[in-house]
Structures are given as structure tokens and as C-alpha cells.
Amino acid sequence: MNNKLLSVLVVIFTLALSACTAVNKIVPPSTDVTFNVAADINPDINQRPSPVVVKIFELSSRTVFDNQDFFTLYEDPESVLGPDLLKKDELELQPGSKLEYPMSLDRNTRYVGFVVAYRDIDQARWRAVLAADPTGYDDVTVNVEEIAVYAKD
């Protein structure tokens, strides 16, 4: 009787695993990023809000990304990140806006990094990183605040 139960459990587990693989082939895994942008982002010298540029990086590792300065990542990410950089994109976000950004992740993506080009970069929290699952279906939120960016899944 125990062997029969074990056999049934093995069959159920195998079918469930096959179903997940089949779903990934029919509907490609994706990560949907929602950017919530504060109305007071990136103030100029007169405290008026200004748009920001956000660079999005798909990374196989975050070690190099975490240890670079803003200008190196912003101006020449390919040379500094090397093989860790799988894909990149760039967006301009307006104060007080909300943007839904769908991503189809590279199969080797393990992290998604965000770099925000604030006017006062020395005082800003300009970098955020999230762990990514290239086989999953995740929704993440990136909050772009006055002079700080925060990402959460």
C-alpha cells in the first residue's frame, strides 16, 4: 500500500513539474515593473521638480554593479559591467507619473538594477537592485522619490 501511495505521489509531482515547464513555453516568463514617481522628484535650484532618466540593467551578478560610482555606470556600463550586463534600457520619468514597464528577462538574469540620474547626485540614493527569477512571473515596484530610489518585490 505504501509503495502505491509513493508511486502516485511521484506521478503527481512529475505532472506538476511538467505543467510548469509547459506554461513557461506557452507564456514567456516576465517581470512587470511599476514605477511610482513622486511629484517632487529631482528638484532644480528653485525647488521645481524635474524629469529623471532611469537606466535599467539586467545582471547575472550584482557585485560589480554594487561597487561602481554613478558616472561609470551611467556613461559606460558595458565596459565596467562586462559579461554581468545582459540587457539594458533607458526611460525618462516625469514628476508625479506612474509607468507600467513589462520586461521579458534574459534566462541568465539574476538581478535587475536601476540607476536614476538625479540632479544632485552626491546627495541622492541613486541605485536600487532587486533579485530576479527569469523563470517566474513577478511584479515589482520602484518608487522614485525626491532624491532617492527604492525597489521592492
CATH number of the CATH domain containing 136: 2.60.40.4150
Query: How many structural domains comprise the chain?
Result: 1
Q: Is residue 9 part of a domain?
A: no
Q: Is residue 16 part of a domain?
A: no
Average pLDDT, rounded, for the chain? 89
What is the DSSP secondary structure assignment for residue 125, as one 8-state letter?
B
pLDDT of residue 22: 47
Q: Is residue 11 part of a domain?
A: no
Residue 131: pLDDT over 80: yes
pLDDT of residue 16: 59
pTM beyond 0.85: the answer is no
Q: Is residue 46 part of a domain?
A: yes
Exposure of 31 by Cβ count < 10 A (0-12 exposed, 13-18 middle, 19+ buried)? buried
Q: Is residue 1 part of a domain?
A: no
Cβ(142)–Cβ(66) under 8 Å?
no
Exposure of 64 by Cβ count < 10 A (0-12 exposed, 13-18 middle, 19+ buried)? middle
Q: Is residue 135 part of a domain?
A: yes
- Which residue segment(s) compose the domain that 146 sits in? 28-152
Euclidean distance between the first and final Cα of the chain, in Å? 44
Residue 27: pLDDT over 80: no
Q: Is residue 20 part of a domain?
A: no
